[in-house]
Copies of this chain bind each other. A is one copy, B any other.
Amino acid sequence: MSRPRAAIVVTGSELVRGERTDLNGPFFAREALGLGLDPARITVVGDQAEDLEDALRAAVADAELCFVSGGLGPTHDDRTVAIVASVSGRELVLDAELEHRIEEISRSFADRLRRPYADFAGGVRKQALVPAGSIVLGPAGTAPGLVVEADGCVVVVMPGPPSELRRLWPAALATAPVQAVLARARRPSRRALRFFGASESAVAKALADAGGDGDGVEATICARDFEIHVDLIVEPDAEARADLIAAGLRTPLERYLFAEDERTVQEIVLGLCRDRGLTLASAESCTGGLVAARLTEVPGSSEVFLGGVVAYADTVKREELGVPDEVLATHGAVSAETAGAMAAGVRQRLGAGIGLAVTGVAGPGGGTEEKPVGLVFFHAVGPDGEEALRLELPGDREWIRTRSAVTALHLVRRLLEPERVRNRH
């Protein structure tokens, strides 16, 4: 039995023009997958009526559940509700209670902006028109969500702003038509394997050697900043097969394996520090704050992470991190010696258990024959030892900075992992 298919339609001119990246399609897709549906397609269209209508008709014809976002606003180019009504063969009717609620919201909005309510009145009426027989959710903001059936497909219409969508999402899932589709879904389990430093083709080969995916286990292999993320989506009757595949990946690639869950490396590093009662401080040159920004994106990171120094100029390396003049003069700012002195310096200055440093040439300028763009030195030092690393990274400035930040965090992981796994990368 196959899982019910889900189709996703996202509307927004700025999305189809590539001026903003769509976040709602991936959100719906992850949710669909977790609910045991088969996300078949994400279509992004602009605000031209015929494009949205084509996309909706195709989605309704192809899927049991269709998620639509965007185009619910008060202006003329917000056409989603009218087109959903047309595709589902329903009339647009005024929902008086909804109109009243939107009016209240808009009046308080007009007050705050000190603008006459008349500026908003036309939009209020438009936003209270819904396809006959739809279930109205919200509104969040001024736009309501809707659940409506069309040709045997349940269409869930949600506002475009991601925060509004997420606020209305639980209510959409709780409606009877959505629950009826979910009752036919088979909620899969998920397994995650996370590798650092392995090549994508080595991981693909290990998967193929383990028999490949299929037969109830779908595998995705995804390379992300030197990490390879393998996710197994496992049907309820395929757990034994998933065990075999996971073992087939684990054995040849064990030294690269760093997690069997979905934690990020910054979460792992903060957890290792917390377990050992150690605090952490960073000293960054070419990554310019990205290491600190990644660490501090984790709630509660302040228990472990004391802070850091972004030492872009050599004077800052010298004065704030105590890198000796002699080291800078002899070896240069981009050197193993400077990285070591930065790590020791930030550890001492900030009184941290662990000091972590990155220095390199991010480009596009500043490279020399001896020290080309992409040359980066890493150093981590703690109470029981230190780890150093030198890499020559390909790619552009953003690529080099991002991968350097991730590599720096993995260096701390390696420094702190228990002995039995210390021979891993």
Contact A296 B288 (CB under 8 A): yes
Total chain A interface residues with beta-carbon distance under 8 A: 99
Complex interface: chain B residues within 8 A of A199 (CB): 113
Q: How far is the CA of A293 from the CA of B294 in the complex (A)?
A: 10
Q: With an 8 A cutoff between CB atoms, is A423 at the interface?
A: no
Closest chain B residue, CB of each to CB of A33 = B17
Q: Give the segment of A42-50, A143-151, A384-392 that binds chain B.
A: A42-50
Q: Most chain-B CB neighbours within 10 Å: which of A26, A218, A295?
A: A26
Q: Separation in Å of the A355 CB from the closest CB of chain B?
A: 13
Contact B297 A288 (CB under 8 A): yes
Q: How far is the CA of A54 from the CA of B34 in the complex (A)?
A: 25
Q: With an 8 A cutoff between CB atoms, is A372 at the interface?
A: no
Contact A43 B40 (CB under 8 A): no
Q: Most chain-B CB neighbours within 10 Å: which of A20, A220, A297, A363?
A: A220
Closest chain B residue, CB of each to CB of A123 = B201
Number of copies: 2
Contact A307 B316 (CB under 8 A): yes
Q: Separation in Å of the A232 CB from the closest CB of chain B?
A: 12
Q: With an 8 A cutoff between CB atoms, is A103 at the interface?
A: no
Q: With an 8 A cutoff between CB atoms, is A302 at the interface?
A: yes
Closest chain B residue, CB of each to CB of A397 = B299
**A-B complex: 5 closest residue pairs judged by Cβ atoms:** A288-B296, A289-B292, A18-B29, A289-B289, A18-B26
Instruction: Please report A residues at the B interface, Cβ cutoff 8 Å.
Output: 13-23, 25-31, 33, 39-46, 48, 51, 54-55, 58, 62, 75-76, 109, 113, 115, 119, 163, 199, 201-202, 204-205, 208, 212, 218, 220-222, 224, 229, 231, 233, 279, 282, 284, 286-293, 295-297, 299-302, 305-313, 315-316, 319-320, 349-351, 362-366, 395, 397-399, 401
Q: A25-B44, A316-B350, A319-B350 are in contact. List 17 more A-B contacts (CB 8 A).
A: A15-B26, A16-B41, A18-B31, A19-B229, A22-B22, A41-B51, A42-B43, A109-B201, A288-B296, A288-B305, A296-B312, A296-B362, A302-B366, A309-B310, A315-B351, A320-B320, A320-B349
